[in-house]
Structure 1
Amino acid sequence: MERKLKQKKGLINMNVYGKYFKKYKLPFLVAVFCVALEAVCDLLGPTLMSNIINSGIDQGQLSKVYYWGGLMLLVTAIGACFAVIRNILASNVSQRMGADLRYDLFEKIVCFSEQSIDKIESGSLITRMTNDTSQVVQFVNGIMRIFMKAPITCIGSIILASILNFRLSLIIYGIVAIVAILIIISMKLSYPRYYKLQKAMDKVNLVVQEYLIGVRLVKAFGTYDKETDKFENANAELMQKGISSQIVITLVSPLMTLTVGIGTVIVILIGSRMFSLNQAKPGDISAFTIYMAQILTSLIMITNIFNTFVRTKASTARIKEVLDCDEDFTDSGEIKELNGDIEFNSVVFAYPNGSGVPALKDLSFSIKSGESLAIIGPTGSGKSTIAWLLLRFYDVNSGRILVNGYDIKELSIDSVRHNIAIVPQKPMLFSGTIEENIRWGNNKATDEMIHLSAHKAQADFIENMSKGYESLLGSAAVNVSGGQKQRISIARGIIKNASILILDDATSALDAVTEAKVRESLNSKAKGQTLITITQRCGTAMFADKILVMDNGVKVGYGTHDQLMRDCEIYRDIYKTQIESSKEA
Structure 2
Amino acid sequence: MNLYSKYFEKYKFPFLAAVLCVALEAICDLLGPTLMSNIINAGIDQGLLPKVYYWGALMLIVTAVGACFAVTRNILASKVSQRMGADLRYDLFEKIMHFSEQSTDKIESGSLITRMTNDTSQVVQFVNGIMRIFMKAPITCIGSIILASLLNFRLSLIIYSVVAVVAVLIIVSMKLSYPRYYKLQKAMDKVNSVVQEYLIGVRLVKAFGTYDKETDKFENANMNLMQKGVSSQMIITLVAPLMTLTVGIGTIIVIFIGSRLFSLNLAKPGDITAFTIYMAQILISLVMITNIFNTFVRTKASTARIKEVIDCDEDFTGSGETKELNGDIEFKNVTFAYPSGSGVPAIKDLSFSIKNGQSLAIIGPTGSGKSTIAWLLLRFYDVNSGEILVNGCDIKSLDINSVRNNIAIVPQKPMLFSGSISENIRWGNREASDEMLYQAADKAQAGFIENMPKGYESLLGSAAVNVSGGQKQRISIARGILKNSSVLILDDATSALDAVTEAKVRENLNSKTRKQTIITVTQRCGTAMFADRILVMDNGIKVGYGTHDQLMEECEVYRDIYKTQIESSKEA
Shorter-chain TM-score: which interval?
over 0.9
Q: Is the 8 A contact 1:335 1:418 kept in 2?
A: no
Matches within 5 A, 1:239-318: 239-318=226-305
Partner of 2:494: 507
1:298 is paired with a residue whose SS is helix
Partner of 2:425: 438
Note the alpha carbon deviations across 1:148-184, whole angstroms, 9 max, x for none. 0000000000000111111110110010000000000
1:378 is paired with a residue whose SS is coil
Equivalent of residue 346 in structure 2, options 359, 364, 377: 359
Deviation at 1:335, TM superposition (A): 4.0
Partner of 2:414: 427
Cα distance in structure 2, aligned partners of 1:385 and 1:377: 12
Note the alpha carbon deviations across 1:389-410, whole angstroms, 9 max, x for none. 0001100001110111111111
Cα distance in structure 2, aligned partners of 1:488 and 1:300: 60
Structure 1 stretches of 4+ with a deviation exceeding 3 A read 331-335
Partner of 2:71: 84
Cα distance in structure 2, aligned partners of 1:463 and 1:248: 63
Cα distance in structure 2, aligned partners of 1:463 and 1:140: 53
Matches within 5 A, 1:308-457: 308-331=295-318, 335-457=322-444
Q: Is the 8 A contact 1:389 1:395 kept in 2?
A: yes
Partner of 2:98: 111
2:87 is paired with a residue whose SS is helix
Cα distance in structure 2, aligned partners of 1:554 and 1:534: 15
Cα distance in structure 1, aligned partners of 2:79 and 2:310: 24
Cα distance in structure 2, aligned partners of 1:131 and 1:464: 43
Partner of 2:41: 54
Q: Is the 8 A contact 1:382 1:550 kept in 2?
A: yes
Deviation at 1:584, TM superposition (A): 1.0
Q: Does 1:183 align with 2:194?
A: no
Deviation at 1:287, TM superposition (A): 0.6
Deviation at 1:527, TM superposition (A): 4.1
Cα distance in structure 1, aligned partners of 2:462 and 2:10: 37
Cα distance in structure 2, aligned partners of 1:567 and 1:116: 42
Cα distance in structure 2, aligned partners of 1:163 and 1:525: 96
2:415 is paired with a residue whose SS is coil
Partner of 1:573: 560
Question: Which residue identity is paired with 1:458?
Answer: Q
Equivalent of residue 198 in structure 2, options 180, 194, 211: 211
Deviation at 1:331, TM superposition (A): 3.3
Cα distance in structure 1, aligned partners of 2:161 and 2:513: 87
Cα distance in structure 2, aligned partners of 1:491 and 1:180: 67
2:412 is paired with a residue whose SS is coil
Q: What TM-score, normalized to structure 2?
A: 0.99
Deviation at 1:336, TM superposition (A): 2.0
Does 326-335 or 23-32 show the bigger shift?
326-335
Equivalent of residue 469 in structure 1, options 440, 456, 466: 456
Quickly say closer, same or farther: Cα 1:35–1:560, change in 2 above 3 A.
Answer: same
Deviation at 1:412, TM superposition (A): 1.9
Q: Is the 8 A contact 1:114 1:393 kept in 2?
A: yes
Partner of 1:29: 16
Note the alpha carbon deviations across 1:301-346, whole angstroms, 9 max, x for none. 0001111111101100100001111110223566421010001011
Partner of 1:561: 548
Note the alpha carbon deviations across 1:500-538, whole angstroms, 9 max, x for none. 000000000001100000000001153421000000001
Note the alpha carbon deviations across 1:249-301, whole angstroms, 9 max, x for none. 00000000000000000011111100000001111111100000000000000
Cα distance in structure 2, aligned partners of 1:333 and 1:355: 31
Note the alpha carbon deviations across 1:400-443, whole angstroms, 9 max, x for none. 10111111111122111001000000000001100000001111
Root mean square deviation, CA, Å: 0.8
Partner of 2:148: 161
Cα distance in structure 2, aligned partners of 1:18 and 1:505: 48
Q: Is the 8 A contact 2:445 2:501 kept in 1?
A: yes
Q: Is the 8 A contact 2:418 2:464 kept in 1?
A: yes
Q: What TM-score, normalized to structure 1?
A: 0.97
Deviation at 1:57, TM superposition (A): 0.7
Q: Does 1:132 align with 2:116?
A: no
Question: Which residue identity is paired with 1:17?
Answer: Y
Equivalent of residue 480 in structure 1, options 463, 467, 477: 467
Q: Is the 8 A contact 2:319 2:398 kept in 1?
A: no
Question: Which residue identity is paired with 1:498?
Answer: S
Cα distance in structure 2, aligned partners of 1:442 and 1:499: 14
Question: How many residues of Structure 1 are paired with residues of Structure 2 in the alignment?
Answer: 572
Deviation at 1:232, TM superposition (A): 0.6
Question: Which residue identity is paired with 2:563?
Answer: K
Note the alpha carbon deviations across 1:45-65, whole angstroms, 9 max, x for none. 001011111111111111111
Cα distance in structure 1, aligned partners of 2:515 and 2:284: 76
Partner of 1:539: 526
Q: Is the 8 A contact 2:321 2:397 kept in 1?
A: no
Q: Which runs of 5+ in 2 are unaligned?
A: none
Partner of 2:571: 584
Equivalent of residue 45 in structure 1, options 32, 51, 55: 32
Partner of 1:228: 215
Q: Is the 8 A contact 1:113 1:328 kept in 2?
A: yes
Cα distance in structure 2, aligned partners of 1:558 and 1:20: 57
Partner of 1:6: none
Deviation at 1:353, TM superposition (A): 1.7
Cα distance in structure 2, aligned partners of 1:107 and 1:330: 14
2:105 is paired with a residue whose SS is helix
Deviation at 1:39, TM superposition (A): 0.2
Q: Does 1:459 align with 2:433?
A: no
Equivalent of residue 82 in structure 2, options 69, 77, 95: 95
Q: Is the 8 A contact 2:37 2:273 kept in 1?
A: yes
2:485 is paired with a residue whose SS is coil
Question: Which residue identity is paired with 2:224?
Answer: E
Cα distance in structure 2, aligned partners of 1:25 and 1:407: 47
Cα distance in structure 2, aligned partners of 1:209 and 1:194: 23
Q: Which runs of 5+ in 1 are unaligned?
A: 1-12
Q: Percent of pairs identical after alignment?
A: 86
Quickly say closer, same or farther: Cα 1:525–1:42, change in 2 above 3 A.
Answer: farther
Question: Which residue identity is paired with 2:264?
Answer: L
Q: Is the 8 A contact 1:39 1:152 kept in 2?
A: yes
Does 158-167 or 331-340 show the bigger shift?
331-340
Q: Is the 8 A contact 1:333 1:414 kept in 2?
A: no
Q: Is the 8 A contact 2:320 2:397 kept in 1?
A: no
Q: Is the 8 A contact 1:328 1:413 kept in 2?
A: no
2:333 is paired with a residue whose SS is strand
Deviation at 1:41, TM superposition (A): 0.2
Quickly say closer, same or farther: Cα 1:242–1:207, change in 2 above 3 A.
Answer: same
Cα distance in structure 1, aligned partners of 2:102 and 2:459: 33
Question: Which residue identity is paired with 1:227?
Answer: E
